[in-house]
Amino acid sequence: MRLKEYVINSLMNLTSDGIVIVDLNGVVLEVNTKFEELHGWTREEAIGQVLPMTPDEYKEDALRLYQSLINGEQIRDFETLKLRKDGSTFYASVTVSPVKDSDGVVIGFVGVERDISEKKKAEETMIRSEKLALIGQLAAGIAHDIRNPLTSLKGFVQLLKYKNTDYVDVMMEELEHINYVVNEFMMLAKPHLSHYIESRVIELVQSIISFLQPHALLYNVQIQLEMDPEIPVITCIPDQIKQVLINVLKNAIESMESGGEIQITCRNRLNQDLIICVKDQGIGISAEKLAQLGEPFFTTKANGTGLGLMVCKRIVEAHGGKLSILSLINQGTTVEIALPINSRYHI
């Protein structure tokens, strides 16, 4: 028995992941040395205690996971924030398995944690870099949209120099339009905190359509929006969902060099998933190239980086969703984004 215990303890402490064993009440029964390193509690301090390992804003997720574990399910590679003894936090990929007795009754849990803070920093840097690349590519369209109302304002001001007219209302409308475009541009460029909040999808989609309207006009593209009457709110990082929609819609616009129509539909699928479809009438993508889409640095554009779609997929998957693409040569492309309703995931 001593040899068996020695081997088990050795295996626990040889791994590069933190391991904690708790009972049904969350009381710590055992930890390994990596757990001590990750959280800052010593083994002596941890055993027999209910440790505050989850930040308050993540308690709802913890309760949902606990219910799944009680039912005998295993939680694999769940990404979340974890607490240290000093109150600081770190990103971790967590796998939790229920421990059952000989009768199949759950009597405790084994948690395995891996620090992914550096991975998260790299992913967030990539997302920000792709966002800046989008801004640069959209700059011409935005400048074009701002130049038109400025031309109108300049002409009206010259007329006002000679006589009193009713052009002030028109000028104010043009100024409001400029203000809207510039604000959307700045919001896209501004760094945002990665906080999940409840968001109305219709507002996110409509704001992106308005923002990309100048870019669509440059390609003689019309955008049509169709939504189910009952579209629930979703819990997401709005800035990142906007980034996905901008990237997908921009690709659709640029695939139609001779103009055409883009159909955007939003559907509530059985109150489980929100489905956003973007369908264009572009040149399409071959089956060979379609299989490679999403791979780093693979692109079908002359000036593309090959990172945009990869970032979009990563964002959607981090929200618990899925991004899929269907395409036929000369028949257009359909991008489907499925996001879970009433769920919360963290990246």
Both tokens of residue 305? 């980086």
pLDDT at 291: 64
pLDDT at 262: 93
Spatial contact of 115 and 187, defined as CB atoms under 8 Å apart: no
pLDDT at 121: 79
Edge-first strand listing for the sheet containing 260-269: 221-227, 260-269, 273-279, 332-340, 322-328
pTM value is: 0.52
Spatial contact of 280 and 255, defined as CB atoms under 8 Å apart: yes
Give the helix/strand (H/E) hosting 181. helix 168-189
Say whether 258 sits in a helix, a strand or coil.
coil
The ranges of the chain with pLDDT < 50 are 1, 4, 297-298, 302, 304-306, 343-347
